[in-house]
Amino acid sequence: MGKVISKSGPVRALGAMSGTSLDGVDVAVLETDGLQILGFGETGYRSYSSEEREVLRAALGKWSGPEVQAAARVIEAAHIEVMRDFPKVDLIGFHGQTVAHAPRLQGTLQVGDGEALAAALNRPVVWDFRSDDVAMGGEGAPLAPFFHHACARYIKAERPLCFLNLGGVGNLTYVDPRCERPEEEGALLAFDTGPANAPINDFLLARLGLQMDEGGKVARGGTVETGALELFLAEPYFSRMPPKSLDRNDFPEMIGLVTELGDADATATLTAMCAASVAQGMEHCPEAPERVLVTGGGRHNPVLMEMLRVSLDCPVEPVEAVGLDGDMLEAQAFAYLAVRVARGLATSAPRTTGVRACVGGGIVSLPEGWVAKAS
C-alpha cells in the first residue's frame, strides 16, 4: 500500500459524517497527530434533498439489493460534492451511511465506496471503520469515544464527565480524563442509550409532514403518557450491561405505543422516552460524572434538554459550553480516527464496543500515483 502520511507530527484531516437522522453530510477539518487535538479547522454541511432522503430511507434495514446500491450512489455524490471545497487536507475520514446494523447477527453495513472518493478527491481516504471491530467480537459502535477522550483532555477536564450524542440514536461516553490514553483501563465506557431523534422525526414526518420537532414546539404542547413510557422502559435492552449498540430501527414498537395519542402528546412521550433511556444509561457510569455535555441535533430541542436536566443528577449543557462544536463533533471524530488508522493506532477498545482487544479498524484507499509527504 505504501506510506499514507508521515509517521509523526500534525496532520490536517477532513472527516465526514452522515448520521441516522438522515439530514445531511457534516464535514470538518481537524489538525491532530492521532493522539492530541492540535486545532480545529473549517467546517461544511450539505443537506439531503427530500428525494435523496427517500432513497436513503428505502435502504434502511437492507443488506444488499438495488435500494442499497442507490443509497450508495447518493452518499458518494453528496460527499464528493461537499468535500471538493476542502482541497488543502492530507487525509479524509469517510464514515459512509449506516443502513443496517446487527453486530451479533449479520454485522454492520455503511454504504459508500472510499475508493471512489479517493479517486474523485485525489486524497487518501480511510473508510469502513467498523467491520474489523465487529469481526473481533465488538459491536462496531459507538466509535466516537476515543475522540471524546481527546476532547476531554483538550478542554483540560480534571474529573470524569460524559459526552451524550443525540442523533437518530443516543449514545453516551463516560470519560475519565485523568487517564492519559483512551486505551487505558478505566479511561472510557461507551454505549448506545436508546432511540433519540429518529422515532420523533419519523413520527412527525408521517403525521404532520415535518422533518423534526424544531425548537420542541410540538412536544411542548403535549403531555407525557406514563403508561407508554413504562412499557418502553421494560424493553430488555435497557437491562443489558454495556458496551451495547443499536440500529436506527431497533425499537419499532415505540411508534405503536403512541399511535392512539394526539400529535402533541405522542411527540412529548417519544421525547420523554429518549430522556428516560439516557437516565437509565447513566446508572452504568463507574463514577458520578461532573457534567454531561450534549452533542448532536437533540441539544437544539429545549424540551428534551429540560427533561434531561430534571432526570440527571449533574449539570447538562450543550458542548458549546466548553467551546466545542456540537454540529461537527462526529465529523471531527472521523477525521481523528482516520489519522489513528493511518498511523496504526487503536480506534476502539473492550469498554467502548465490547471488542475482545483494542483494534484499529478501517480500509485506506489511495488515489492512483499518490505519494505521501516526507516524514
pLDDT range class, residue 6, cuts 50, 70, 90: confident
**Distance (Å, whole) CA 212 – CA 301:** 10
What pLDDT score does 2 carry?
42
- Residue 341 in grid coordinates: 488508522
Please compute the mean of the pLDDT values over residues 238-242 and round it to a whole number. 93
Whether the pLDDT of residue 250 is over 90: the answer is: no
341-347 average pLDDT score: 96
Q: What is the arithmetic mean of pLDDT over 308-320?
A: 97
Structurally, at CATH architecture level, domain 11-142+327-365 sits in 2-Layer Sandwich (3.30)
**pLDDT tens across 113-162, in order?**
999 999 999 999 999 999 999 999 999 999 999 999 999 999 999 999 99
What share of the chain in percent tops pLDDT 70? 98
Q: How far apart are the first and last CA of the chain?
A: 17
Average pLDDT, stretch 348-373?
A: 90
Write down the pLDDT at residue 373: 57
Query: In this structure, are residues 127 and 114 in contact, taking their beta carbons and an 8 Å threshold?
Result: yes
Q: Is the pLDDT of residue 356 over 70?
A: yes
Q: What is the pLDDT of residues 158-187, one digit of tens each?
A: 999 999 999 889 999 999 999 999 999 999
Q: Which residues pair with 78 in a beta bridge?
A: none
Q: Where in the chain is the domain with CATH 3.30.420.40?
A: 11-142+327-365, 156-322
C-alpha dist (Å) from residue 33 to 5, 260, 324, 344: 11, 53, 19, 12
The mean of the pLDDT values for the chain is 94
Omega into 145 within 30° of 0, i.e. cis? no
Decide if pLDDT at 1 tops 80. no
Give the rounded percent of residues in the chain with a pLDDT score beyond 90: 89
* Domain 156-322, CATH among 3.30.420.40, 3.20.20.70, 1.10.1740.10, 3.30.70.100: 3.30.420.40
What pLDDT, on the 0 to 100 scale, is given for residue 186?
Answer: 96
Q: What is the DSSP string of 167-178?
A: SSEEEEEEE-TT
CA 350 to chain CA mean position, Å: 18
List, for residues 195-215, the tens digit of each pLDDT value. 999 999 999 999 999 999 999
- At residue 375, the pLDDT reads 38
Q: What is the pLDDT of residue 321?
A: 98
Residue 99 confidence (pLDDT): 95
Confidence tier at 21 by pLDDT (50, 70, 90) = confident
pLDDT at 256 exceeding the cut of 60: yes
Residues 283 and 235: beta-carbon distance below 8 Å: no
